[in-house]
Every structure is written in structure tokens, then in C-alpha cells.
Chains A and B, each alone.
Chain A
């Protein structure tokens, strides 16, 4: 089955630094990738949708200058948390959708960010 990886799995950083999270589709071309943030009590919030070669579409309330998303190729999207603060500490999950199978999303394993 299709595999999506995220790197790093876990990152601890100091407040004010920037952190880049990668999301890769390993065996298929992902025309669309989604970035989610998981909150306590398991709810998932969609942050943005990125399409290869174009600017990401951010959900209301998500700061695009704070959470930079780049989808430079059909297998890679990156989320950069700029000037991270403790309130950005969370679990970030990406998912990818292949051009051929539009209805199925493949989720990555998530990246846990802890900002001190």
C-alpha cells in the first residue's frame, strides 16, 4: 500500500527557532498534500492544503507567515514552523492524495514538536 513518511519523528527546539518538517510520499506521486495539527482529546485541525507547484491554501485562523508550506515536488511537501513558541508544541500530521485515487488519503506517522 501507499506509504507516507514524515521527518523528523520528534523534535525539541528552543523558543524562537524555526523547525522544518518533511512529508514524503514514498511510492506514489502526491498531487495534493494536507497538513493537520492534532490537539489534546485527539481532534485534528486541518491547517492547509498544498498542491504541487502552487501556493498552499490555508484554513481560516492559520497564519501563513508562521506556518510556511512548500510543495516543490510530487513526492515532497514541507511545513516550516517559523519562530516557534511553546504554544506551537503539538503533533503535526500530513496526508497525501494521489492523482489516480482521488478519494483516498494516506496519512504520515506524525511529527511531535516540543518547543521549550
Chain B
């Protein structure tokens, strides 16, 4: 059975801190790993990773995938209160169906 585990479950940091969120997975026929930020309604797409070792970057957020060790990290530098959200990791498998398996998320709270 496909599985995605995120850690930590919850995190409280001060503005300006750097945080690293972890996502490990077990999935048959891996296709891609996705990171989302969920504040109130639908999760907002952040990154899609398909290859190991290639860092994806968007502003203060970056992410990298290790397909050998089956994990990914999401880094947020110089955190701001607006970064407070639940960060979801999901893995999509290959094939026509492209089943997606979500983790339960890491809740990040950034305090002033």
C-alpha cells in the first residue's frame, strides 16, 4: 500500500527562522512528488519534483527530492507570518490512473 509520511506533524517558529519539512514515501511506480500549501480552502500547488538532486526554488521556498532514499524536503528561509499554513506532500504514481497519495501534512505556525 502506498504511504506518505510527513514530519514533524506541527512546528512553531519565530519570524526569520529557517524551517525544513520532511516527507518520506513508499509508492509503487513513482511518477512525481508534489508539495502544496494549505491555508484555508484548497491546497495551493508549490512544487512538482520528478528527478533526484535537482532543487526547485521559488522565492524563499525550495525543495529537493531523493529517489534513492525515498524522501523530499521543503525548506523555507526567513519565515514570515504569512507562511503559517499546513504543508502537504503528495506522491503520484505512473500509469493511466495516476493515483495520488497525500500525507497528513505539517502544520507550521510562524509567530512574530
Contacts and interface: CB of A to CB of B under 8 A. Distances in A.
Interface stretch (A16-24, A68-76, A79-87, A103-111): A103-111
B100 A91 contact: yes
B42 to A, nearest CB: 4
B101 interface: yes
Contacts of B105: 104-105
Interface in B89-107: 90, 96-102, 104-105, 107
Interface string A82-116: 00000000010101000000011111011010000
Contacts of B34: 42
A91 B98 contact: yes
A63 interface: no
Contacts of B101: 107, 109
Given A42-B48, A105-B105, A59 B98 contact: no
Size band of the A side of the interface? 20 to 34
Contacts of A110: 98-100
B36 interface: yes
Interface of B: 2, 34, 36, 38, 41-45, 48, 86, 88, 90, 96-102, 104-105, 107
